[in-house]
Amino acid sequence: MREIVFDTETTGLEFEADRLIEIGGIELWNHIPTGRSFHRFIRPADRKVHPEALAIHGISDEMLADKPLFAEVVEDILEFFGDARLIAHNASFDIRFMNAELARLQRPAISMEGVVDTLQMARRKFPMAPATLDALCSRFQIDTTKRDKHGALVDSELLAQVYIELIGGRQAALGLVSAGDNGAGGSETGGASRIRPRPVPLGSRLSPDEIERHRAFIGTLGSDALWLSHLEPATETPAA
């Protein structure tokens, strides 16, 4: 099952007037990060970043001056989303801003029907407890030291870890739930499925840039990281 954990940053809080300025996402396959991610800064048309929003995410008008408009990146966003299940924290906020941008381009809206809201999940699982992303990272002892201010990609990376914990932690992520669990749709955990290898492996859908960024990320995990055993050797550029 393909899922996209995503986050957005905006010029303010009013989705009908404010604009999207950043979007980031992490791809999961059967609840395990694939290493594929998406990130774009977006120049808001005719809208300045509100000072209160700037204090939260630190994205200034000057930083966005040379960035593409939403219309220039919409196809990239929708292609990355595909038909995956979308996961966001306080999802109605992100989806409203996405749909407002899509409506300006007369594009179909994203339905909330298949969207998972980790804020609501956390409130059901931990009633009366703080349910912000920061609070959940603290609860699950997720390292946030690399996070200075809110950012769409780094928050997506943190939220992916929070989401895995909310659905059962590492056991769910590694597909080790018992055979008696419901693996069909309709469950927040999605259950586990038995995956048979393809007779002929599919070709890679990653771009060279994505592969190099994944390689750089794996390099930060330490010498004992499991991913290192699956990392292909870097391809050297032939000398001219």
Looking at the annotation, which residues are catalytic? 150
In a 3-state reduction of DSSP, which class is residue 88? strand
- Residue pair 175/192 in contact (Cβ under 8 Å)? The answer is yes
Q: What is the dihedral of CA 122, 124, 128, 129, to 10 degrees?
A: -20
Q: Are strands 20-29 and 32-41 parallel, antiparallel or unpaired?
A: antiparallel
Number of H helices, E strands in the chain: 9, 5
3-class secondary-structure state, position 170: helix
DSSP 205-227: ---HHHHHHHHHHHTTS-TT-GG
Single-letter code of the amino acid located at 76: D
